[in-house]
Amino acid sequence: MVLAGGSGTRVGAGENKVYLPLGGRPVVSWALSWADAVPEVGRVVLVIRPQDEARAQEAVSAAGIRLPVEIIHGGVTRHGSEQNALDHLSWPICAGSLQVVAIHDGARPLAGPGLLRTVIQAAAAHGGAVPTLPENEAWAMDEAGRLNPPPPGETLHRVQTPQAFRATPLLEAYAQALRDGTEGTDTSAALEGRNGVRVVAVAGSPENLKVTFAEDMTRAEALLPHLPSS
């Protein structure tokens, strides 16, 4: 699934940032293209705000991919949007025809197909996979505002998308969260502590930036021509 339900106000464009032009196409269309280039991907779900329906259709057309893109409306929160997408996919998951679900942020246009394929394969083997980058200068801060360095031999890591998880445990975890009235901070948080699921880290990419501010668009334009297509 590709999440495109945010507003992206910090980029300063006055519209949803995932529809801004990048390389002559909407930002989110690149995420769709990378999914289309991965043999393991059998279907694509694009999660949007209801008011972005026309823009989403334009982005799908601009991507020009072989796979059909199923457009659905998201929820108020990221967790709610993921829940709607899992509800949409629940039948093939329960039938056993959908083994792994990958989740990607539509505002990350430079992930490339290689990283997506890596997390899908790792999730199939272990239960879940998340790309990360070490934050060597990051320290944890406690409730009193005190900074604490990581313990010796440990580092803090910054999490990226795409992330991938075995479909059945993911569906069950979100169903449990719905019953409990809870929401995880991210997708992997909903799976914490579930038997038989091990979420592993894979190497992320410094180029896999998230478009948040105007300068991110400038950097993405410069990096896009150098991105491998497979």
Written as six digits, the tokens of 45 are 């779900």
Mean pLDDT of 140-163: 84
pTM of whole model > 0.75? yes
Question: Over the chain, what is the mean pLDDT?
Answer: 91
Q: What percent of the chain has pLDDT over 70?
A: 96
How far apart CA 199 and CA 126 sit, in angstroms, is 7
Residue 11: pLDDT above 80? no
Give yes or no for residue 127 having a pLDDT over 80: yes
pLDDT of 228 = 82
pLDDT in tens, 59-76: 999 999 999 999 999 999
Q: What is the pLDDT of residue 189?
A: 79
Cis peptide before 228 (omega within 30 of 0): no
Specify the DSSP element, H or E, that contains 21: strand 21-22
Q: Which domains does the chain have, with CATH numbers?
A: 2-226 (3.90.550.10)
Distance CA 157, CA 138 (A): 8
Q: Could you write out the DSSP letters of every residue in 28-55?
A: HHHHHHHHHT-TT---EEEEE-GGGHHH
Predicted pLDDT at 8: 58
